[in-house]
Structure 1
C-alpha cells in the first residue's frame, strides 16, 4: 500500500528525476543534459510548491516516490452570484514508475486529489489524456467533452 501525500521541497530531486524519466519514456532522449534540466525543473518546482496555485500529490512505497499527479489551480474571472475566488483545476504530469503500474496507486492519488479539490470548492477538473490513459481517467469518473480550440505559432 502506498502513502499518498502532498509533495514538499524535500521531494525535489525525486520529482525532477521522475519528470526526466517520464519525458524520456514518452519522447526519447533529450537534447539537454540531465544537469541542465535539473536546474530548470528545480526552479519551476520550488516556485510551484511554494505557491498557492500548484499542488503535487505523490505516492510513496518504502519511502520512495513511485507516482505523482500535479494540479494547477486556474483562477477564473469572478461572476455575479459565484464564489469570490472561483477556480478550476488543471490535472497534468501524471506518472507512475513502470514497476508500480496497474496496482491502484494512480487511483489512490486521484482519489486524494479529488477529495482535496471538492473540499477547496474547485469547480471542475480538466485534463488532456494520452491515448493510453483514457481508460484510467474514464474509470475514475472523467468524461469526454468537446475539444478545446488551440492555435499554434
Structure 2
C-alpha cells in the first residue's frame, strides 16, 4: 500500500526532530546495545540547526499525516577550478532514513525523487553515498552505481 507523502525542504526549526530521528536511525544500525552511552541529543540538534541555517547542508523531509517520517541530507562539495572542464560540485548524500512504519510505502522514493530533482536543477556533477546493505537496492534503483574512480584511505579510530 502506498501512502501519500509530502516532501519539503527542512528548516532550522526542524532540527530537534531531525536529531531525534538521527539517534533512532543509528540505534537501529547497532541492532542491540551500544558499546558506549549515546552522546547528548542536543549536540546533533545544534549541529543540524547551524548547518541548515547557513545553507552548508540541505535536507528533505517526508511527512505523512502531519508527522515527519523520513529524511535525507545533502552536502554540496566544491571542486577545484579546472582550465579545461567545468568545476561543478558533487553532492554528498547521507542520513537517509524512513521510520519503520512508513518503509516500503513510498517515503524513501519520494525523498530520493526530491533530492534528484534538486541535484539536476542545480547541476551537480555526481552524487555520492555510502549505502547500508539494506538501502543499497533502493539507491541502485535510482541510478546509483559502484564508483569507477574512487579510492579511500580509512583511518581507524
Query: Shift of residue 14 of structure 1?
Result: 1.0
Q: Deviations over 1:99-143 (max 9, x none)?
A: 000011111111111111111111110111111111111111111
Unaligned runs of 5+ in 2: none
| Separation of aligned partners in 2, 1:151 and 1:142 | 22
Query: After the TM superposition, which of the residue ranges 105-114 and 45-54 deviates more from structure 2?
Result: 45-54
Displacement of 1:50: 1.3
Structure 1 position 51, deviation (Å): 2.3
The residue that corresponds to 1:23 in the other structure is 26
Give the CA deviation at 1:29: 4.2
1:32 matched to which residue of 2? 37
Q: What residue in structure 1 maps to residue 44 of structure 2?
A: 41
Tell me how far apart the structure 1 counterparts of residues 146 and 106 of structure 2 sit (CA, whole Å). Answer: 22
Count of equivalent residues: 150
1-structure distance, mates of 2:17, 2:118: 23
SS in 2 for 1:68: strand
Displacement of 1:46: 1.4
Cα deviations by residue, 1:52-96 (Å, 9 ceiling, x for unpaired):
32100000111111010000111111112444x631001100000
Q: 2:115 & 2:92 partners in 1: Cα distance?
A: 11
CA RMSD of aligned residues (A): 1.7
Q: Taking structure 1 as the reference length, what is the TM-score of the superposition? A: 0.90
In the alignment, which of 132, 135, 154 is matched to residue 133 of structure 1?
A: 135
Task: Mark the runs of 5 or more structure 1 residues left unpaired by the alignment.
Answer: none
TM-score of the two chains, using structure 2 as the length reference? 0.88
Instruction: Output one character per residue of 1:10-52: Cα deviation in whole Å (capped at 9) or x when no partner.
Output: 212211110111011111445335xx52221012111210123
